[in-house]
Amino acid sequence: MSASQQLEQEIIDECTIIHKQWNEMTRVWTLPVIHALGLSQPARFNELKRRIEGISATSLSERLTELEKQKIIQRKVIPESPPRVEYSLTPKGEDLHNLLGKFADWSKRWAKS
């Protein structure tokens, strides 16, 4: 493989990784869930539902399950009577929330233009 072919393959590989993750993160409700959880954690299910205007319980449950599979959030069961569940960001999720903070700043800055 020539140097230019090698470079082209590296670009394709990088695009594949980035585009796959971008598509996963931009699924409906994913970013609002991460943002809402990052504002104050840990949070319980109904707290998150109140913070995210318009999200259904089903959609929130699906997003939380998917984000847990991706190791962006963690779910902790508190053994009380009745048991309660709290959600918080993992270090991976914290890193993503920090990136979203820049996007939030941009959104607020340009919201009225």
**What's the token pair of residue 63?**
């997003």
Question: pLDDT per residue over 19-37, tens digit each?
Answer: 888 878 888 999 999 999 9
Count CA within 13 A, CB hemisphere, residue 43. 21
Query: Which of 6-10, 19-23, 43-47, 81-85 has the highest average model confidence (pLDDT)?
Result: 43-47
Q: What is the pTM of this model?
A: 0.79
29-105: CATH number: 1.10.10.10
pLDDT reading at 113 higher than 80: no
Q: What are the structural domain ranges in the chain?
A: 29-105
Cα end-to-end distance, the chain, whole Å: 49
